[in-house]
Amino acid sequence: MKYSIQVIAILLFLISVPTNGQNLQGNIQYTSKSKVHVLINTENFSKISQQKFKAGHNASSIKKYALNFNKSSSLFTEVIDANINPSLGMRSNPKGPALMINHPGNFYKDLKTKNYINQKEFFGKQFIIRDKLTTINWQKTKEVKMIGKYTCFKATAKILNGSSKSNSSTNVVAWYTIDIPVSQGPGKYWGLPGLILEVQTEDVVYTCTKIELNQANDTAIKMPKKGKKITQKKFDKLFVSTLNDIRERHAN
């Protein structure tokens, strides 16, 4: 009888683990460093102006984000510092437009429908981009490292650049932990058997700085709604054409 009770207890524990994992929800905070498109030549600037330009460059490239998630959806948003302007996709200085970044904006993922809604502000206009989540062909490895108290595994992938006519791709390295068994991550990154705590690409690096988890009832995560509706393809074309136009303007 004692043996049977122990067996039943173990089975109940094993059955309860996946259920608890599915009920996980929480808030993950990240810092990011993004590639900045420099649109003007600063060689003729004074030393003081160059220092100010560099400070603006750093302020634009380094940001803080939060990922709120439950078992089926998530919302990735920029954490606005009272002393720093939010990301508008554009930075300026007294000599004119200087820096531009394709920031992720507010990124909502629905894992049930495999759809996303991306709310972005670009040159003072707000856009709503709706599309299907890209299925990422992750190559999982046995390489391991610790991020905080979590054991993380390395995964790599090549993601096609949707707006590129040459079908170029971006190399991605992700570190995920199966200790938090949810298929979520910062921005457009998802699809691994655990939460993605770090992402590295040529354009951006996201690093987890804080994790708050709970297993309470699912918190409703609101999808962004305000903005001009546009497809991802059209927004990508808008960003590239605007970038090229400004570069040509300042080259003349």
Tens-digit pLDDT profile for residues 111-155: 999 999 999 888 778 999 999 998 999 999 999 999 999 999 999
- List the one residue out of 112, 141, 138, 156 whose CA is nearest residue 192: 138
pLDDT on residue 94: 36
Distance of CA 84 to the CA centre of its chain: 19
* Nearest CA-CA partner of 92 in 82, 81, 105, 101: 101
Percentage of residues in the chain with pLDDT exceeding 70?
Answer: 64
Residue of 155, 136, 133 whose CA lies nearest to 144: 155
**DSSP letter string, the chain:** -HHHHHHHHHHHHHHHHHHHHHT-EEEEEEEEEE--EE-S--TTS-HHHHHHHHHHHHHHHEEEEEEEE-SSEEEEEE---TTSPPP-S-EEETTEEEEE-----EEEEETTTTEEEEEEEETTEEEEEEEEPPPP--EEEEEEEEETTEEEEEEEEEEE-TT-TT--EEEEEEEEETTS-----STT---SSSEEEEEE-SSEEEEEEEEEEE-SSPPP-PPP--SEEE-HHHHHHHHHHHHHHHHHHHH-
At 162 the pLDDT is: 61
pTM as predicted = 0.74
Hey, which residues does 57 pair with through a beta bridge? Answer: none
Q: Residue 85's pLDDT band (boundaries 50, 70, 90)? A: very low
In the structure, what pLDDT confidence band is assigned to residue 79 with cuts at 50, 70 and 90?
confident
Query: What is d(CA 121, CA 224) in angstroms, rounded to the nearest whole number?
Result: 12
**Both structure tokens of 232:** 């991802």
Averaged pLDDT score across all residues of the chain: 76
User: Please, are residues 127 and 164 in contact by the beta-carbon 8 Å criterion?
Assistant: no
As a whole number of angstroms, the distance between CA 32 and CA 177 comes to: 19
Token pair listed for 102 = 């394709």
Asked if 97 and 38 touch (Cβ cutoff 8 Å), the reply is no
| Mean pLDDT confidence for 43-54 | 56
Strand-pairing partners, residue 66, are 29, 77
Structure tokens at 30: 């990240």
Distance, CA of 128 to CA of 109 (rounded, Å):
13
| 245, pLDDT greater than 60 | yes
Position 6 confidence tier, pLDDT thresholds 50, 70, 90: very low
Question: Would you state the structure tokens that stand for residue 138, as one six-digit string?
Answer: 């992750």
